[in-house]
Structure 1
Amino acid sequence: MNNRLYSALVENPAVFRIGIATTIMMAIFLVGTLGYHYIEGMGFFDGLYMTFITISTIGFREVHNLSIEGRIFTMGIFIFGIGVISYIASQTTQLIFENEHFLKRAIRKRLGEMNQHYIICGYGRIGNRIANVLRDAGLPVVVVELEESNIDRIQADKHVYIQGDAQNENILQEAGIDKAKALICALSSDKDNVFTTLLARELNPEIFILVRANENSNRLRISRAGANKVISPYDIGADRMANVILRPQVEHFIETMTRDDQQDHTFDEVLIGKGSALSGKSLGEIGVRNKYGVLIIAIIPNGERIKFNPLSTDIINEGDSLILLGDMKKVGDFRSELCKDDRSLAERTEHI
């Protein structure tokens, strides 16, 4: 027997029972067809037809008037057939409920194993996009969604999820907020985002909270509720649309670099950590471009203004962040060899 099929039968007995009942039903059709042939002298198709209308209770007329023996045989076929159909229906219903229970148990198990994950509250257009981008980047994601209409889409995207209200303390705890790295509020109501932010900050004072603001007038209120960063998708969308008119090639370049999955080059950021081999050296001494094939397009000194297009004489110090442009692999090699970023998300976004 196929190993996968065997595993399915062992793990879910209802599947096995449905299979047995279906086999019995096929046997009843065979016995019925042959019975009508030998008792009533019917052909194969007429015997199959009589068996079908008897079990299905459709009640069309008989092929011909039945003998006493034929009528007794028909009653037997009816009783056995209806019994098997009822059994299949009950087992199918049980299988549906067992699968739902199995799915919930599997989700709880995965949640228990998660650590330093990202909780996304709301799976509308924005939450959906954020969740998929983070997942594609290899980051662990948990979605909290209340609306039943969005659950099928979450399942299709294969996210770990909890169906419930993000404003419920138990739901956030079930999502593992005490172990999460960040919480992203992408709910459609600013009022809901404010309350969720307040609750999340109370449950985990150290967590990084990123919140969608639907109205600019609510940005300050959301920040006061405890959000580390507040973003208005509408402002960002409007700015990008304006840039398509004002600076079309610049906008095309940025979109290609940040959204084209086929693009080999990328933007990235690295922190010059404690004990880094780059600390105290100038860009000219390091020779980043010649040695690693990576371009440093900006330096962000710790707590200071961004220094664009740095000179070869500029010194890199501990705590500085470098904004890089280069081939994905080379950027990765540069990061793993020379830079280690131990900052929390809140620290990395403090000066944005």
Structure 2
Amino acid sequence: MAILAVSALVGTVAVRLRQPLICAFIAVGILLGPSGLDWIQSNDQIHLLGEIGLAVLLFVVGLKLDLHLIRSMGPVSLATGLGQVAFTSVGGFFLAWALGMTPLTALYVAVALTFSSTIIVVKLLSDKRETEALHGRIALGFLIVQDLVVVLAMVGLSVLAGQSHLHPGLQVLLVLVKAAGMIAVVSLASFLVLPRLVPLLGRSTELLVLFSIAWALALAHLGSVLGFSKEVGAFAAGVSLASTAYRDILGARLVALRDFLLLFFFLDLGSRLDMGALGSQVVASVVLSLFVLIGNPIIVMVIMGYMGYRRRTGLLAGLTVAQISEFSLILIAMGAAAGHVGQDAVGVVTLVGLITIGLSTYMILYSQPLYEWLAPYLGIFERKVPYREDAVKGLAVGTRTADVVLFGLGRYGSAIARGLMERDRHVLGVDFNPQAVREWTALGWPAVYGDAEDPEFASLLPLAGARWVVSSIREPRVNAAIAQAVRHAGYRGNLALSGDARAEVAGAAGDAADLFLVPFENAAEQAVALLLATEEEIARRHMDKVIEALSDHYIICGFGRMGQQICRDLQRQGFPHVVVEENPEQLPRLKEREVLHVAGKACEDEVLIRAGIGRARGLIAVAATDEENVFIVLTARVLNPRLQIVARSILEENEDKLRRAGADRVISPYILGGRRMAAAVMKPGVMDFVDLVLHDDSVDTDIVDVAVTAGSPAANKTLGELNLWQAYGVTVLALKHPGEELAAAPSPEVVLREGTELILMGRASQIAEASRVLTNNQPDRW
């Protein structure tokens, strides 16, 4: 418990200092070991847990082995990976030999210095969001090559560690036979057993993780029995599960276990160091550390420069190999266990690890300032011929000048670019991910590779004719670099920067930006509208003015299938109307059809006021649910007590609620539809006539609703006295006295009153003449 507590405390300090935990745990081992407080007196248990941690580490490495990344980066991954391994091995061997080590010890130390920590590099690049950058992808590619080489080195070390009286040729043949046997076992399991077994175990994540650990330990034991190391067997177990669909979830679950168990390996390693003996090894450790910190990046820069990469890419990729790996400590520990090297060699490599891991962490974190400082001296690592990554010079001469230069072709940036191109703006995309550039150019759209933080890159861009430089990258440091670089290159156009918060963007670029985009506030289309000051805002203002000028119009609340049909009928009859809709999926349809509309909830006072409810003649509530319609009717009735309100009721039991809320008429589409279908069967001719009169614009016959107004000469007269058919040629189909039910085919003796509504049928001119007698207003059409 005390050991874990001290480890947690020292680890916290290391994290605050932005140091990897490897250094912290080795330091705890030294502090609590015989050279320090002597709390670690028995190493057996810690050593066992450390051995299991190594097996899990190699299992996870095999599980996450990404050969596709090596293929995608092509020759550069193999060239830099193998080239750096060869250079460091040869150079390290002669340097260690010159420092007084025996040839075998020098060989072990040289091989240990060869490998770099994939775990540390991936963590640092991820924190800087550079795993998809060109230098990040190259670094991950050659680190995977190193992982493969370290497994081969472990196999070779296992062979060297084995004591055999056989002839060397027979010993090699025996190793090959054992390797073939192990490969056969793993292959059979991968193709025949695991595809059937793993899906069954995958139903329980805990069971799947337990099986994977057992499988890793089983193959680790098999590797040990066959004369290989346990780590090689665990690596093979990981490779066997790498092709399954469960590799990601297993990797995620086992990372925490791996890190916990590796704590004990580094504690064990630190506790075995004799601090008294290390004093004489400081000079050798410093020399070898400088060789790793300086030599490894230089060889990577030489190889990448020869292959046509720019000096900045070479330096940033080279800095990722400026430390030794946890595998370096594992290899030297294996050599000590085999009796090939002494504890002094283990101490030297451990000190080199502490120095290089600690310093290289800051070198990677502050790689950009380091590059700016070293840039004048790095010209020798760059070819004078066109750069392999310099696609700007490859743009076709004479093509249309870019209206917008867009940095970042991720999801947000791509959406902005598409929106701009749909509005006939020519966009040149820039991204530091070569894969994103290839995908963009494959669509026929211009894009170039470029790192926004490279101060020299902006001078290569066609900025002279650009109206906008837009950054969809949300990293403040990158945005500040873009702003400084383009302004320094002489760009005087508009600049838009993105960020997770508006204050963050403004703080990063100061007064350099003309527009701030916050992806979580501004969707890509909205960003396009902001950039171009599009006609959408102008159209909205114009639409609001049109709505403000309306009177005696109808408000339709809801633009579903029924709302759309209502709008079509009202538009065909020439009735002004406004739609209120909150569904974002329907709003584009309203804009496309140029329907007057207000976006928002129809039950809110402000929204209905914007729709002109105080001047409206009627409201139709066809929202998605009866509950919404009830609230709409209540709100509308309060805002305009004289409003004619028609509401849809989906459930029959809600009709009374809608009427009590204030609806003048409640219609159930299911009941109404059922009645029409029944009538279409029983009285097809009648229904055809109704459809002809109500819905066929080619027929000059209409049915209207006319109300007898106060002071009308028709008041207190009978239908027979008015004789509307003989006088005007209109037919009275029905009438309704105030407070009474609608009566069909009324008798000629019926006396009309003020407020009596008549349903008339006739031609438009005939109805107009009759309405002058009944009222001074225009009739209502059905």
Unpaired runs of 5+ residues, structure 2, are 1-394, 403-427, 430-436, 442-458, 471-493, 496-527
- CA change 1:196–1:280 in 2 (3 A) is closer
The answer to whether residue 621 in structure 2 is matched with residue 165 in structure 1 is no
The AA in structure 2 aligned to 1:253 is F
Q: Structure 1 residue aligned with 2:610, among 169, 174, 185?
A: 174
Q: Structure 1 residue aligned with 2:653, among 210, 214, 217?
A: 217
The answer to whether residue 586 in structure 2 is matched with residue 150 in structure 1 is yes
Task: Give how far 1:199 is off.
Answer: 2.5
The AA in structure 2 aligned to 1:210 is V
Larger Rg: 2
CA deviation string 1:50-87 (max 9, x = no partner): 43499879999xxxxxxxxxxxxxxxxx9684432454
The AA in structure 2 aligned to 1:259 is H
Q: Distance in 2 between matches of 1:117 and 1:152?
A: 23
Q: Distance in 1 between matches of 2:401 and 2:752?
A: 87
The answer to whether the 8 A contact 1:272-1:341 is kept is no
Equivalent position SS for 2:586: helix
Q: Distance in 1 between matches of 2:401 and 2:776?
A: 74
Q: Distance in 2 between matches of 1:198 and 1:314?
A: 36
> How do 1:120-269 and structure 2 match up within 5 A?
120-269=556-705
Task: Give how far 1:277 is off.
Answer: 2.6
> How do 1:1-352 and structure 2 match up within 5 A?
50-52=397-399, 81-85=462-466, 87=468, 96-335=532-771, 337-340=772-775
Equivalent position SS for 2:645: strand
The AA in structure 2 aligned to 1:104 is R
Task: Give how far 1:213 is off.
Answer: 0.8
CA deviation string 1:4-39 (max 9, x = no partner): xxxxxxxxxxxxxxxxxxxxxxxxxxxxxxxxxxxx
Task: Give how far 1:102 is off.
Answer: 0.7
CA deviation string 1:77-110 (max 9, x = no partner): x968443245498798657433122122112212
Moved more, 209-218 or 301-310: 301-310
The AA in structure 1 aligned to 2:639 is L
The answer to whether the 8 A contact 1:264-1:327 is kept is yes
Moved more, 248-257 or 218-227: 218-227
Equivalent position SS for 1:51: coil
Moved more, 217-226 or 281-290: 281-290
The answer to whether the 8 A contact 1:142-1:161 is kept is yes
Q: Distance in 2 between matches of 1:341 and 1:310?
A: 23
Q: Distance in 2 between matches of 1:228 and 1:88?
A: 57
The answer to whether the 8 A contact 1:145-1:162 is kept is yes
The answer to whether the 8 A contact 2:768-2:778 is kept is no
The answer to whether the 8 A contact 1:271-1:341 is kept is no
The AA in structure 1 aligned to 2:773 is L
CA deviation string 1:162-206 (max 9, x = no partner): 111223332222222233332221111112112222232333344
Moved more, 111-120 or 250-259: 111-120
Q: Distance in 2 between matches of 1:200 and 1:312?
A: 39
**TM-score, length-scaled by structure 2:** 0.33
CA deviation string 1:130-164 (max 9, x = no partner): 22322333332111111222122212332211111
Task: Give how far 1:340 is off.
Answer: 1.6
Which is strand-richer, 1 or 2? 1
Q: Distance in 1 between matches of 2:768 and 2:633?
A: 34
Q: Distance in 2 between matches of 1:247 and 1:53?
A: 67
Q: Distance in 2 between matches of 1:264 and 1:242?
A: 28
Q: Distance in 2 between matches of 1:195 and 1:314?
A: 40
The AA in structure 1 aligned to 2:774 is C
Tell me which residue corresponds to 2:155: none
- CA change 1:93–1:121 in 2 (3 A) is closer
Equivalent position SS for 1:133: helix
- CA change 1:284–1:190 in 2 (3 A) is closer
Which is helix-richer, 1 or 2? 2
Q: Distance in 2 between matches of 1:301 and 1:251?
A: 27
- CA change 1:313–1:230 in 2 (3 A) is closer
The answer to whether the 8 A contact 2:401-2:465 is kept is no
The answer to whether the 8 A contact 2:705-2:779 is kept is no
- CA change 1:201–1:268 in 2 (3 A) is closer
**TM-score, length-scaled by structure 1:** 0.68
The AA in structure 2 aligned to 1:188 is A
Q: Distance in 1 between matches of 2:580 and 2:684?
A: 37
Q: Distance in 1 between matches of 2:401 and 2:619?
A: 60
Q: Distance in 2 between matches of 1:206 and 1:317?
A: 20
Q: Distance in 1 between matches of 2:536 and 2:762?
A: 46
Q: Distance in 2 between matches of 1:222 and 1:118?
A: 19
Two-structure CA RMSD over aligned residues (Å):
3.6
Task: Give how far 1:296 is off.
Answer: 2.0
The answer to whether the 8 A contact 2:529-2:536 is kept is no
- CA change 1:293–1:95 in 2 (3 A) is farther
Unpaired runs of 5+ residues, structure 1, are 1-47, 61-77, 346-352
Q: Distance in 2 between matches of 1:54 and 1:303?
A: 73
Equivalent position SS for 1:270: strand
Q: Distance in 2 between matches of 1:304 and 1:94?
A: 57
CA deviation string 1:115-138 (max 9, x = no partner): 333221110111112223223333
The answer to whether the 8 A contact 2:401-2:466 is kept is no
Q: Distance in 2 between matches of 1:142 and 1:214?
A: 23
Q: Distance in 2 between matches of 1:312 and 1:212?
A: 35
The answer to whether the 8 A contact 1:116-1:179 is kept is yes
Equivalent position SS for 1:250: helix
Equivalent position SS for 2:540: helix
The AA in structure 2 aligned to 1:51 is G
The AA in structure 2 aligned to 1:83 is A
Task: Give how far 1:341 is off.
Answer: 6.5
